[in-house]
C-alpha cells in the first residue's frame, strides 16, 4: 500500500507540477509514530488517490464529450432509453472499486480494535477540565491539568503574550508516561460529560462517556513526547484540556514508576504532619489558581449567573464543615474535588479561600482531616463494588 501511495503521489507531483519538498506541508493527516497510525495514514492516502483518479476519469470523459459532441459541430443527441452493456459495466466497475477499498479498510479497523494480549492497562477518566489516569497494573494514580504557564497566559488581562509560552495550551502539569515497545490497553470513561481523548501521533481518538467504557490500544516504538487535546465540546474550558504522552525506554519507565511511588509516600507523609495556617494559605493560592480561578475568577468575584463568587460567599464565610462537604462532594457544575486533589492541596485551597480573596474567617483545616475523609470515601467505594 505504501508503494502504491508513493507512486500515486509521484504521478500527482508530475501532473500538477508540485514541489517534492513536502515536509512543511501540513494540510493532511499526521502519519504518526505507531504502526496503526501509519496504516490509517496509508489507507487515507490510498482512498484519496483512488477518488482523485476516479474524478479525473469521470470529469475528463464528461468535458471531452461535451466539447467534442456539441451542437455547433453538427452533433445531434441520441434518443435511447437504456444500454444493457453500459449498465452492466457501470455497475460492475464501481462494485469492484468499493470491494477493493473495503478490504484494506476492514483490515485496518480490525487491527485498531485488537486489544488482546495487552502488556499493561491504563484507565482514563475525563473531568471538566482535566484527565485522570490510573495505572491498573501498579496502582499509580494522578490527575493531569493544563500547565501553570499556559493557564496564566490564557487569563483575560494577564498581559502575557501566549507566543512566549512553550507549547501554549498543549502542555500539562503531569503527563501520561508509558514505556515503549509495550502493548498498552486504554479504558476510557467520564465522571461528568462526554470528552474525547485524542493524540494524533497514535492514530486514533476515543470518546469518554459517563457510565460507559470504551477501549483502545497503542504500541509506541520510539521514545518521545506526543501531544493532543480533548476533541469533544465538553464545556466552557474545553480548549484548555490538553493531553501529553511521554514514551520512555523500559528502564527509564521503571525508574519513573519508583519515583511516583516515592511521591505518593511523600504526599501521605505530608498529610500526616501539622501545618500552620500561613503555610496552607501560601500553598492554597497556587492550588486555587490552577483549579478554581477559571470559574470563580482570579480575584474570587465569580461569573454572575453561572459561577458564584468566593469573596463574601456565605458558604465560605460560614461553617467550615459545610464548605468542605461542598468542595469534597461537588455541587452543580463544580466537580468533586475530594477525588481530584490530594489531602494537602485540598486543605490548602480550603484554608486559602477562607483567609484570602477578601475573606478573613481566620480558621483552617488540617490535611490529616481531609485524608481521613478520603480514606473513608475510598472504603465506601470498595464496599459498593463488592
Report pLDDT digits (tens) over 125-141.
999 889 999 999 988 99
CATH fold match for the domains 2-71+80-112 and 273-385: no
d(CA 58, CA 375): 68
pLDDT digits (tens, 9 = 90+) for 17-52: 444 344 455 678 888 899 999 999 999 999 999 999
CA triple 234-236-239, angle to 5 deg: 75
Section 239-245 average pLDDT? 95
Which cell is 105 given? Answer: 479498510
> Quick one: DSSP state of residue 172?
B
| Lowest pLDDT segment from 22-31, 53-62, 258-267 | 22-31
pLDDT band with cut points at 50, 70 and 90 for residue 382: low
**Across the chain, how many H-helices and E-strands are there?**
12, 10
Peptide bond into 197 cis (omega under 30): no
d(CA 273, CA 268): 9
Section 232-260 average pLDDT? 94
Indicate if the pLDDT at residue 234 is higher than 70.
yes
Specify whether the CB–CB gap between 33 and 226 falls below 8 A: yes
Domain 120-266: give its CATH superfamily: Cupredoxins -  blue copper proteins (2.60.40.420)
Measured CA distances, 113 to 40, 135, 200 (Å): 13, 21, 17
Q: Give the closest residue to 291 by CA, choosing from 140, 160, 144.
A: 144
Specify whether the CB–CB gap between 175 and 225 falls below 8 A: yes
| Lowest pLDDT segment from 113-117, 248-252, 301-305 | 301-305
d(CA 93, CA 141): 55
What confidence score (pLDDT) does residue 8 get?
44
Please state which architecture CATH assigns to domain 273-385.
Answer: Orthogonal Bundle (1.10)
**Rg of the chain's alpha carbons, rounded to an integer?**
28
Better-scored residue on pLDDT, 47 or 86:
47
Listed by start position, the domains of the chain span: 2-71+80-112, 120-266, 273-385
d(CA 175, CA 280): 26
2-71+80-112 has which CATH code?
1.10.287.90
Indicate if the pLDDT at residue 384 is higher than 70.
no
Indicate if the pLDDT at residue 69 is higher than 90.
no
The size of the chain, in residues, is 386
Indicate if the pLDDT at residue 283 is higher than 80.
yes
Percent of the chain with pLDDT over 70: 91
Amino acid at each position: 500500500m505504501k508503494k502504491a501511495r508513493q507512486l500515486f503521489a509521484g504521478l500527482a507531483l508530475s501532473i500538477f507540477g508540485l514541489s517534492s519538498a513536502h515536509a512543511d506541508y501540513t494540510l493532511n493527516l499526521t502519519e504518526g509514530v505507531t504502526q496503526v497510525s501509519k496504516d490509517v495514514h496509508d489507507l487515507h492516502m490510498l482512498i484519496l488517490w483512488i477518488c482523485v483518479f476516479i474524478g479525473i476519469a469521470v470529469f475528463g470523459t464528461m468535458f471531452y464529450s461535451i466539447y467534442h459532441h456539441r451542437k455547433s459541430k453538427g452533433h445531434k443527441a441520441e434518443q435511447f432509453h437504456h444500454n444493457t452493456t453500459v449498465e452492466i459495466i457501470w455497475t460492475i466497475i464501481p462494485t469492484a472499486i468499493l470491494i477493493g477499498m473495503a478490504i484494506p479498510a476492514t483490515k485496518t479497523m480490525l487491527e485498531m480494535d485488537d486489544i488482546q494480549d495487552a502488556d499493561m492497562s491504563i484507565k482514563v477518566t475525563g473531568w471538566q477540565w482535566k484527565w485522570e489516569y490510573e495505572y491498573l497494573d501498579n496502582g499509580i494514580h494522578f490527575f493531569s491539568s493544563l500547565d501553570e504557564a499556559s493557564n496564566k497566559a490564557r487569563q483575560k488581562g494577564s498581559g502575557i503574550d501566549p507566543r512566549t509560552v512553550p507549547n501554549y495550551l498543549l502542555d500539562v502539569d503531569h503527563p501520561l508516561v508509558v514505556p515503549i515497545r509495550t502493548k498498552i490497553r486504554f479504558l476510557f470513561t467520564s465522571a461528568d460529560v462526554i470528552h474525547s481523548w485524542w493524540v494524533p501521533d497514535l492514530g486514533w481518538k476515543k470518546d469518554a462517556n459517563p457510565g460507559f467504557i470504551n477501549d483502545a490500544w497503542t504500541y509506541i516504538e520510539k521514545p518521545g513526547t506526543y501531544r493532543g487535546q480533548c476533541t469533544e465540546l465538553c464545556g466552557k474550558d474545553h480548549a484548555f484540556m490538553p493531553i501529553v504522552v511521554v514514551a520512555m525506554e523500559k528502564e527509564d519507565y521503571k525508574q519513573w514508576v519508583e519515583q511516583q511511588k516515592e511521591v505518593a509516600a511523600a504526599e501521605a507523609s505530608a498529610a500526616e504532619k501539622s501545618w500552620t495556617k500561613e503555610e496552607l494559605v501560601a500553598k492554597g493560592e497556587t492550588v486555587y489558581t490552577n483549579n478554581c480561578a477559571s470559574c470563580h475568577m482570579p480575584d474570587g468575584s465569580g461569573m454572575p449567573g453561572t459561577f458564584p463568587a468566593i469573596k463574601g460567599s456565605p458558604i465560605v464565610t460560614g461553617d467550615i464543615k459545610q464548605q468542605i462537604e461542598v468542595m469534597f462532594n461537588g455541587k452543580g457544575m463544580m466537580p468533586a474535588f475530594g477525588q481530584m486533589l490530594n489531602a494537602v492541596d485540598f486543605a490548602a485551597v480550603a484554608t486559602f479561600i477562607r483567609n484570602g480573596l477578601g475573606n478573613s474567617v481566620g480558621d483552617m483545616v488540617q490535611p490529616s482531616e481531609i485524608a481521613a475523609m478520603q480514606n473513608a470515601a475510598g472504603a465506601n467505594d470498595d464496599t459498593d463494588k463488592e
